[in-house]
Amino acid sequence: MRIRHLAYISLMALALAGCNDTLESASVDLSTVKNKVEQPLPAHIIADMAKKGMDRNSPIMIRIFKEEGVMEILKANQSNRFEVIASYNICAWSGRLGPKVKEGDRQAPEGFYMLTPANLNPNSKYYLAINTGFPNRYDAANGRTGANLMIHGACSSSGCYSMTDQEVLEIYAFARDAFKGGQKAVQLEAFPFRMTAENMVKHRLSPNIEFWKMLKIGYDNFEVTKRPPEVEVCEKKYVFNQEASGPFNAGGKCPVMTTPPALQTALLTHDKQYDADYATALKKYDGMAWYDPTEAERKAVVAKTRKGHDIAYAPTGTALAAGKMMKVADLESMVANQSGQQLARGATVANPTTASVRMATAAPGLAGQQGAQPAGIAVAANVPANVPIPMANPMVNPLAYAVPPVETAETEPAKKPPFWKFWAKSE
């Protein structure tokens, strides 16, 4: 019996070794790349596209989930729904969960950003780079500062999302091909974590929770439509997929807005399930909350795990690996102690996650509340609110929902129908 057991283990080891060899062989040898800007996507990705009914040049979107250190590329299929075509471990990201607030805080951005061909940098000293577009209209309206925050190679970050050179080569190629196909802007959605009911309960005591609840509205819009939401900014907050009576002004009063009926119905159904899941998670984590680790703590877990081996995940680690659920009283004490140590060293507590834990219960079921105003994001009040709003980063993605027009003898381009008509079941 023991001999058969050992034989089984040996066979499994050989199988895993074969998988690893396949993965390694699938990686591009950068020394063979003659033109990184025009390097085609690997054959296995092209094959996956064909299986999923995706055109090589169809639109894409990018989603980032900080906590698990993952970047996903989603691509439009023949039904114009977006699904994951590639997923990458983020090699390095700095700071903690939470938005970027000011220059020098080492935070990587969270929010909704539109990437145009002008955001691509083929001459980056970090192999290749894509500018995230921070600050966008929301960031600027809320006085947030910072510049040159990128998705790039070289696996080194100070406020950026850094990948390996092989990974950024593919990510760049996805964007390049989509732009060649006619996409005007690629939506980048950067989230602290997947915004499930359980995760929202775990993080309900974070000082960032109001900001995250606002992002969750956009997250939910994608979950029910499988299309990147149309994003606007007014009254210094994000709004998604809204019919409006007038123009949007990032710092001004919102126009009268309505949610398309089909979308509103879908969101109400989604909210009902979310509320039930939230109540279940509240019972599960009664008296407990998530401790978001520091960057140093994330790196320490990697160093301990690595032990001289070349491991596959980020050298800055994942917050999932280094964080933990704690009793609320213990969490308050730990976070207060960290803040005190920073202040004693003369450092400013730039990241809201290092401030004392805010004891408030997060209300579930906010997915459809477009008018919900974030109830104060710690730190943002310390920066001027009258920062000029840059116009170089449009938030509306004109091709995000566009179904390829039927070819006719007419040369005039087809007019884009309203979003909700695309989404409706009868389309």
Q: Which residues are catalytic?
A: 152, 160
Q: Of how many residues is the chain composed?
A: 427
The string over 267-292, giving b where at least 16 C-beta atoms fall within 10 Å of a residue's C-beta and e elsewhere, is: beebbeebeebbeebbeebeebbbbb
Q: What are phi and psi of 169, to 5 degrees?
A: -60, -45
The token pair that represents 329 in the structure block: 């009283």
Q: First-to-last CA distance in the chain?
A: 61
Rounded to whole angstroms, the Cα distance separating 70 from 58 reads 22
The token pair that represents 382 in the structure block: 């310390």
User: Which amino acid, 48?
Assistant: D
The CA-atom distances, in angstroms, between 27 and each of 161, 167, 169, 311, 393 are 20, 9, 10, 15, 33
Q: What are phi and psi of 44, to 5 degrees?
A: -70, -30
Residue with tokens 């054959």: 43
Rounded to whole angstroms, the Cα distance separating 390 from 392 reads 6
Rounded to whole angstroms, the Cα distance separating 260 from 223 reads 16
Residue with tokens 């105003």: 373
- DSSP letters spanning 309-377: S--SS-TT--HHHH-EEEEHHHHHHHHHHHHHHHHHTT----SGGGSPPP--PPPS--TT-TTPPP---
- DSSP letters spanning 262-328: HHHHHHHHHHHHHHHHHHHHHHHTTTEEEEPPPHHHHHHHHHHHHTTS--SS-TT--HHHH-EEEEH
Could you tell me which of 83, 84, 139, 137 has the C-alpha nearest to residue 108?
139
